[in-house]
Amino acid sequence: MSEIIVRRYSPRLSSPLYIVGLSGPNELGRITARRLVDRSKANLFIEFYNQHFPDHVVVTEDGTCRLLRYEIYESALTSPNLIIACGDPEISLENVGGGYEALDELVMLGRSHGASNLILFDAAPMADDGSIYIAATKMGLARSLERKGAKLIRDARLPGPAGAILGICRLYRLNAVGIFPTLAKPDDAGSTADACLRLIETQFGLSYPSQRSM
């Protein structure tokens, strides 16, 4: 097995935003993506398995086992539409030998559904100070987020899967931004995730089903 993609159904989406939540050291990326799944009433439509994911299984509450995976959700109820990728917390995608291929496939899952932008959430590669840092594939996008209170990562390198995904997006000419929050307090993950979501709601005019019906 190199990879297995299980498609539950094929959604009809219009230029969706593609959100990828990575499982960094403090899981802020994954927490933020999961929060967005709940708010957008998103549904699971793809299970993505890859040989480069760690070689163990998850034992669920009913005692059954499954392989580690990325779950891909969609919401046609939001404006703009959303695709959201969340991996099991054990998946770090740090495998130097083959992780690059898995990351490329993760990006392609969004592109194949017409994604207009990729938005990546991950732990910040700097000390916690309560700020939200960003890096983007286009200067205009970076400057726009900076005006909304984010801090630019300047003259630096982004190691690991976050940097690789942004680099792959640039090669494919897919607009992309990495959002890297830091914690003001150790137990502040929830409010930090909310701050990240407010940033993309403002930047991309994202509204949820309950808001659209008002």
- Find the Cα–Cα–Cα–Cα dihedral 103, 25, 29, 140, rounded to 10°: -70
Least confident of 48-57, 81-90, 168-177, 192-201: 48-57
Q: Which of 17-26, 66-75, 86-95, 180-189 has the highest mean pLDDT?
A: 66-75
pLDDT digits (tens, 9 = 90+) for 167-189: 999 999 999 999 999 887 767 88
pLDDT (0 to 100) of residue 129: 81
Q: In whole angstroms, what separates CA 105 from the centre of its chain?
A: 14
pLDDT at 34 over 90: yes
DSSP 134: E
3-state secondary structure of 48: strand
pLDDT at 90 over 90: no
Between these two residues, 63 and 127, which has the higher pLDDT value? 63
| CA atoms of 166 and 171, how far apart (whole Å) | 9
Contacts 24+ apart (CB under 8 A), 145-153: 145/177, 145/199, 145/203, 148/199, 148/202, 148/203, 149/199, 150/179, 150/199, 153/125, 153/180
| CA atoms of 93 and 95, how far apart (whole Å) | 6
pLDDT at 198 over 80: yes
Residue 96: pLDDT band by 50, 70, 90 thresholds? Answer: very low
Domains of the chain: 3-212 (3.40.50.10900)
* Nearest Cα to Cα of residue 142 among 158, 159, 154, 127: 154
Instruction: Quote the Cα angle for 194-123-184, to 5°.
Output: 55
3-state secondary structure of 71: strand
Read off the pTM: 0.92
pLDDT digits (tens, 9 = 90+) for 100-151: 888 999 999 999 999 999 999 998 777 778 899 999 999 999 999 999 999 9
Per-chain mean pLDDT for the chain: 90
Percent of the chain at pLDDT exceeding 70:
94
